Structure 1
Amino acid sequence: MTDTLTLLLAPDRPIIVAFRDRATGPALLRWAVQRSLITGQHVTVLHAIPDQSLVLPVEAGGTPYGTLIAAARLILDDESRLVCAEFPGAHVTANVHSGDIVDALVSLSEDASLLVVGADRVDGHTGEYLGSVGQQAALGSAAPVVVLPREPRSGNATVVVGVDGSLESEAALRVAAAEASRSGGQLTVVTSANATDAPGGPAEHSTSSALEDIRGQYPQVTIARQIDDQRTPVQSLLFHAADADLLVIGRHGRGARPGILLGSVTHTLLLDPQCPTLVVTRRSPQESSALTVRA
């Protein structure tokens, strides 16, 4: 199993962008391309159209399926040219998928470095969430997943990570430290007092030990430790990540589609992310061994 840090920077693994439409897709593509110029990876932009069996037949007034494919390809080609003109040196390829977008993302994640998806849409009248692509991708993906907010905004050069002493959060901490080092930003390590055991317990000891390793590995990174005893884990991460460039969390929950469960904190944070939210989905061999021992 590939280590997450190695996976995120693997030059032969693409960044996959889920392009929903022209209203939201260009911002996701631009974010991915800017990252790719630093990591040296290429970007694959993916758009899904319904399976042909679900499209109204031509004789019933529907659009020919070939026309739908050509229109989708035209949009992707246009947006790819625009972003490459804006960022010379970018390498972008386009892929039109026939069928379910989550199925395509989960399949492609096996060979990807990162999946980039947008936050799920919200009905402007009822406030109800429309779909769950971000959450389903985060749980089913073999590669890390970043979910971008519906309204992208500039952050304050801070990477925030939530830790609770679990193996998942320790993996997230190491990824967050590497991201802060790469971007030159500050690392804020957030723990909700409601998420761990008593002060001085095993979870706190595990986090402190991991932080010592991080400080030794990334001496140039400024690390701020926040133990929040006023808020729940979700409230605490939403508060501290409000102006951040990136929030990193470990994936709690297991399984693959269908019949999957996502940890409650991850589930809530991905409904309405305050900033780009990176979900660490894959354990390193060392982490997997430790999990087996503890199980």
Structure 2
Amino acid sequence: MTPSIVVGVDGSPQSLQAVDWALEEARHRALPVRIVHVALRWEYSAAAPPEPGLEASRPEAAALNVLELAEEHARTHAPDVDVSTSLGIGHVPRVLLEEAADAVILVVAARGTGAFSGIMLGSVSRQVAEHAPCPVVVVPHHPDPEPRPAEVVVGVDGSEASMDAIGFAMEEAALRRVGLRAIHVWEHAAYPPAMRPASYGDLSIEQEAMRVLAESLAPWKSKYPTVPVVEQVVQGRSPAEALSGATVRASLLVVGARGHGGFPGLRLGSVSHAVLQQAQGPVAIVRPRS
């Protein structure tokens, strides 16, 4: 299948904002958009006669109506983008992951209604972010969306996951012709100042943080020499707090699925999960390439 940007919809205004993000991204990448709606299997467990004037039974008619409204919204707001639709039936995250098998990016809303009713962030959004073969962009709901500042932000910790996140963030900044802000967060050691080793010092740790940031960015700066980069070292705040705060001024925040720390079996790290919960702007979760 042709590579595309896949976006999940459920009939809610929140999911239409995800469609808007996917359409904008499609323009940057010159790619088509495939809009996917997943109907829960239980809706089809009981036979339902067609509604008057409809050839399809009620559950299928309702699902098709969600897709038709989303497609109409897309064609109205982006007539220049090639748009198609797909109806799935079954477990929502599983079907979205199957649809994303050939996707460049999978886009979902942070929360929704309809087929996602009652399923909070940490279920659909978290599951697709944990398992998707492509970057996943989670778009939070903003009742009165305003143009966001032209800046892409990426979290850097020196891990393999953050290296892939930097690559995706650099690509996004280049496509959008904007600057990149790379943030590395460091914290004091867990023990009190009086108990720290004599060799411990804020200056030496900050220098090490700057080294990690510079070395992580170096290969990507060479690949994307036209992207202006701001290197920012943040001290005294948790990584999730610092990165979530950056979403206020970013058009997109990019983080790795799992960085340093945590347990090897975890697919989505505590920082990336916390950022998804707290973010005020779109967040891209990037898993290491396999």
Provide the TM-score with structure 1 as the length reference. Answer: 0.78
**Counterpart in 1 of 2:137?**
146
Q: Which residue of 2 aligns with 1:111?
A: 102
Q: Deviation string for 1:35-59 (max 9, x for gaps)?
A: 1122121111111111047755659
Structure 1 residues 195, 140: CA separation in 2 closer, same or farther (over 3 Å shift)?
farther
**Paired amino acid for 2:216:** A
Superposed displacement of residue 168, structure 1: 0.6
1: CA distance, partners of 2:148 / 2:77: 21
Deviation (angstroms), 1:200: 5.1
Describe the SS at the equivalent of 2:285: strand
Alignment correspondent of 2:270? 264
Equivalent position of 1:189 in the other structure: 182
Shift of 1:107: 1.7
Q: 1:24 is paired with a residue of what secondary structure?
A: helix
Secondary structure, counterpart of 1:242 in structure 2: coil
Q: Give distance in 1, aligned partners of 2:215 and 2:163.
A: 10
Say if 2:258 and 2:272, in contact at 8 Å, map to a contact too: yes
Question: Are the aligned partners of 2:35 and 2:70 in contact in 1 as well (CA < 8 Å)?
Answer: no
Shift of 1:148: 0.4
Q: What secondary structure sits across from 2:13 in the alignment?
A: coil
* 2:247/2:282 contact within 8 Å kept: no
> Which of 54, 58, 61 is matched with 1:67 structurally?
58
Match of 2:15 among 7, 25, 39: 25
In the other structure, the counterpart of 2:34 is: 44
Q: Deviations over 1:131-151 (max 9, x none)?
A: 621111100111110000111
Alignment length, in residue pairs?
A: 259
Distance (Å, rounded) in 2 between the aligned partners of 1:227 and 1:42: 38
Note if contact 1:270-1:277 (Cα within 8 Å) is conserved in structure 2: yes
Residue in structure 1 matched with residue 167 of structure 2 by the alignment: 174
Secondary structure at the aligned position of 1:88 is classed as coil
Read off the aligned partner of 2:158 and give its amino acid letter.
G
Q: Check the 8 A contact 2:257/2:285 in 1, yes or no.
A: yes
Pair 250,15 (structure 1): closer, same or farther in 2 beyond 3 Å:
same
Distance 1:49-1:121 versus aligned 2 partners, 3 A rule: closer
Deviations 1:58-79 (A, max 9, x none): 59xxxx9832112211231233
Structure label with greater radius of gyration: 2
Cα distance in 1 for partners of 2:11, 2:170 equals 33
**In structure 2, what is the equivalent of residue 221 of structure 1?**
227
| Helix, strand or coil at the partner of 1:139 | helix
Query: Deviation digits for residues 260-284 of structure 1, max 9, x if unmatched?
Result: 652100111112322111111242x
Contact 2:29 2:175 in 1 (8 A): no
| Contact 2:44/2:59, CA 8 A, preserved across alignment | no
Which amino acid letter does the alignment assign opposite residue 79 of structure 2? Answer: P
Structure 2 match to 1:94: 85
Distance 1:120 1:79, change over 3 A: closer
Q: TM-score, normalised by structure 2?
A: 0.79
Cα offset, 1:16, TM superposition: 0.9
The alignment status of 1:164 with 2:171, answered yes or no, reads no
8 A Cα contact 1:119 1:272, kept in partner: no
Partner of 1:85: 76
- Residue identity matched to 2:281: C
Q: Percent identity?
A: 29
Question: Post-superposition shift, 1:184?
Answer: 1.5
CA-atom RMSD in angstroms: 2.9
